[in-house]
Amino acid sequence: MSSEKLTFDYSKSKTLQLKLSGDWQLSAGLPSLNEVLAQIDSHLDIIEISFVMAKDFKWDSAFISFLLKLSSISKQKNIQLIVQGLSSQVEKLLKFTPLQAERIIPHKIIEEPFFDRIGSRVIRVKDTLLSVLNFLGDIVLAFKRFVCGKAFFRKDDFFAILQRCGVDALGLVSLISILVGVILAFIGAIQLKMFGAQIYIADIVGIAMVRVMGAIMTAILISGRTGASFAAELGIMQSNEEIDALKTLGVSPAEFLIMPRVLALVIMMPLLTLYADLMGILGGFIISTGVLGLNPVEYFNHTITAVKLSNLWLGLIQSFVFGIIIAIAGCYRGMQCERSSAGVGEATTSAVVTAITGIVIATAIITFICQIIGV
């Protein structure tokens, strides 16, 4: 019986190969470990033991016990145990045994060739792009159903998300926007006071806040605050298999979870940007009139004259685009989260990085387009 299930092949490379076949389940009985010991004793120069599994090989936990005993003997005789020839199921089980880490030495990893690495990365990029396109397609279909009045999501959840994106963020947006206005005023004063033209600080602060800085600073704050929370929420739901449960019930995650978040940010980002513009101008006004000694009425009139409606619309359009980018980045990273606590942390971090990168790229593109059309 043993000879049919276990045969040996000793090579000149000082490797003892164990060929496994037949039924190695507990009910059928296992070959004796003494057969392997006899082979080891007859070839004292053995440095490795490897395995070959036949197609008819059957096993259960008794085979794992056999391997662990062989591992213990191999360690005593300073012989490496190569598990490459075993099935993936056996290797997975061995990872959970206390002897795996210290007794079973995996096969040496051969470095992947250069062109293979390039090909693997290209394939990963292609898979990522397809995943993003599928995700965007689901969102478009969800909004199509929303426009037709067929989308399903809870209004209470939507208004709660709306409050978190808007009202709850006012304190942080106020602080940062006022400080940005203060910084712009001081920077402008450094150069303008050389020409006695400090009054043009109003122009600098007003145009900078309304055209670019209000939208960008608000977007960066919201990406770190709200975008990260979207990724964490959806990531935890993915880890707890709540999203799988929704799919099982026939509920589309794109409609029930993603669309309310995208809609909330698209609505609140322009409003927060308007508020940030006002706070930034207020910060410049306080410094210019209180510290630099400018006339308040003259400062106010210069601001109204300098800030044109086109600047305001440009800032609002940017905020609208930023809201879409932040929401999609947070939701996408959350939906792609691995089912572990570490995966949730990685999803949160990558959501913020993706959102800020997207904001910078979008700002560069919009600025370039505005330069071409002369806005």
pLDDT tens digit at each of 375 positions of the chain: 345 677 777 776 677 777 778 777 777 777 777 777 787 777 777 777 777 777 777 777 777 777 777 777 777 777 777 776 677 777 766 666 654 444 444 445 556 677 888 888 888 888 888 988 998 898 898 888 888 888 778 888 889 989 988 888 899 999 999 999 999 999 888 888 888 788 888 888 999 999 999 999 999 999 998 999 999 999 999 888 888 888 888 888 888 889 999 999 999 999 999 999 999 999 999 998 888 888 889 888 888 988 888 889 999 999 999 999 999 999 999 988 888 888 888 899 999 999 999 999 999 999 999 888 887
Q: How far apart are CA 72 and CA 6, in angstroms?
A: 19
Residue 331's pLDDT is: 92
147 plus 162 within the same structural domain: no
353 and 315 in one domain?
yes
Same domain, 90 and 168: no
Determine the pLDDT at residue 107. 47
The predicted pLDDT at position 322 comes to: 94
Whether residues 117 and 209 fall in one domain: no
The number of distinct structural domains making up the chain is 3
In this structure, the answer to whether residues 253 and 167 fall within a common structural domain is: yes
Q: Is residue 91 part of a domain?
A: yes
Co-location of 38 and 73 in the same domain: yes
- Chosen domain end from 41, 71, 103: 103
Parent domain of 144: 113-151
Q: Which residues contact 85 (CB under 8 A, 6 or more apart)?
A: 17, 50, 51, 52, 53
Which pLDDT score, from 0 to 100, does residue 190 have? 85
Q: Is 217 exposed, middle or buried (0-12, 13-18, 19+ CB in 10 A)?
A: buried
Strands 58-59, 23-24: pairing kind: parallel
**Judgement on whether residues 226 and 122 belong to the same structural domain of the protein:** no
> Does some domain include residue 261?
yes
Q: How far is CA 309 from CA 7, 57, 274, 339, 369, in A?
A: 86, 78, 13, 48, 18
What's CA 280's distance to the chain center, in Å? 32
Are residues 225 and 294 located together in one domain of the fold? yes
Of 151, 175, 210, the last residue of a domain is 151
Question: What dihedral angle (degrees, nearest 10) is formed by the CA atoms of 353, 344, 255, 259?
Answer: -30
In this structure, the answer to whether residues 119 and 144 fall within a common structural domain is: yes
Confirm whether 86 is domain-assigned.
yes
Query: DSSP state, 307?
Result: S
Could you tell me the pTM of the whole model? 0.67
Residue 97, pLDDT score: 61
At residue 357, the pLDDT reads 94
185, 317: one domain: yes
CA distance 73 to 88: 23
Residue 323 confidence (pLDDT) = 93
Is there a domain that residue 129 lies in? yes
Domain boundary among 38, 71, 103: 103
Say which CATH number the domain at 45 has.
3.30.750.24
255/326 same-domain check = yes
In a domain, 19, yes or no: yes
Q: Which of 202, 233, 215 is nearest to 333 (CA)?
A: 233
The DSSP secondary-structure symbol of 100 reads H
Q: What is the pLDDT of residue 354?
A: 92
- Asked if residue 108 belongs to a domain, the reply is no
Whether 173 is in a domain gets the answer yes
Q: Is the residue at 330 inside a domain?
A: yes
Same domain, 141 and 168: no
The DSSP bridge partners found for residue 19 are 7, 52
Place of tokens 């006899």: 38
